[in-house]
């Protein structure tokens, strides 16, 4: 029997094949902006989008000003919605593991840096229906790797930190979660994750 009572999954890069760099690539090509410059500016501002402090329109307006693109400043259509719908794919091998974990009577949840647009699409996909615990940065007001989002999780689940297992594709998020007592691993691929979950008697 596993010591873990709850397994938390990151969404983008784990449950869903998606990376923000794909969005930056599409936007840089669409608006004729150097990708490296656009990516740099987006990464400085993305936390405000993820934590719900600014809307997507405000996000692109700010980035447009930084990179001197009037066209991007004026964009009204959701670039995130169109790109995510086009490129994101469910990671079915991981979703099968989720079902097996639940069959083993272990709770499953999600902890994700997510803005409202992507959240809406994931609901349309029907991806979020089966998760008993759901934590999203745009609702909480903090984003990984801020320690406060992990503290928020601990304050809102009926489990101790030592009973929670967390999977994320970014090492910075994994390190912070580990530092406050949540057992965390970096996701590399489905095969490796399956091995890790078996080793910890989760699968």
- The reply to whether 25 and 107 lie within a common domain is no
Q: Tell me if 10 is assigned to some domain.
A: yes
Same domain, 77 and 123: no
Percentage of the chain exceeding pLDDT 70: 100
Asked, for residue 99, whether it belongs to a domain, the answer is yes
Task: Check whether residue 65 and residue 142 sit in a common domain.
Answer: no
Q: What is the band of 15 on the pLDDT scale with cuts at 50, 70, 90?
A: very high
Domain limit, last residue, from 86, 120, 136: 86
Query: For 25-39, what is each residue's pLDDT tens digit?
Result: 999 999 999 999 999
Tell whether the model's pLDDT for residue 146 goes beyond 90: yes
Residue-level pLDDT at 58: 97
Give the whole-angstrom CA distance, residue 110 versus residue 7: 8
Per-residue confidence at 2, pLDDT binned at 50, 70, 90? confident
| pLDDT > 90? residue 1 | no
- Assess whether 82 and 113 both reside in one domain: no
50 domain-assigned: yes
In the listed set 61, 86, 111, which residue is the last one of a domain according to the structure? 86
Domain that holds residue 151: 6-18+89-199
pLDDT at 84: 96
Could you tell me the CATH number of the domain that includes residue 129?
Answer: 3.40.50.1000
Number of domains in the chain: 2
139 & 76 share domain = no
- 172, pLDDT greater than 90: yes
State whether 82 and 112 are in the same domain: no
Strands 164-168 and 6-9: parallel
Among the candidates 86, 101, 119, a domain finishes at 86
| pLDDT tens per residue, range 81-126 | 999 999 999 999 999 999 999 999 999 999 999 999 999 999 998 9
């Amino acid at each position: 029997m596993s010591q873990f009572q709850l397994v938390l999954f990151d969404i983008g890069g784990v449950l869903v094949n998606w990376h923000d760099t794909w969005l930056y690539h599409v936007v840089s090509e669409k608006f004729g902006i150097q990708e490296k410059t656009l990516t740099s500016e987006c990464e400085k501002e993305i936390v405000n989008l993820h934590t719900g402090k600014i809307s997507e329109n405000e996000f692109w307006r700010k980035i447009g000003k930084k990179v001197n693109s009037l066209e991007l400043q004026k964009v009204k259509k959701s670039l995130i919605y169109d790109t995510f719908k086009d490129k994101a794919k469910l990671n079915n091998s991981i979703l099968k593991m989720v079902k097996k974990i639940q069959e083993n009577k272990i709770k499953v949840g999600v902890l994700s840096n997510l803005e409202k647009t992507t959240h809406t699409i994931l609901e349309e996909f029907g991806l979020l229906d089966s998760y008993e615990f759901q934590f999203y940065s745009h609702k909480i007001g903090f984003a990984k790797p801020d320690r406060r989002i992990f503290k928020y999780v601990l304050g809102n689940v009926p489990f101790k930190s030592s009973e929670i297992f967390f999977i994320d594709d970014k090492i910075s998020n994994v390190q912070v979660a580990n530092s406050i007592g949540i057992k965390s691993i970096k996701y590399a691929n489905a095969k490796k994750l399956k091995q890790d979950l078996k080793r910890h008697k989760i699968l």
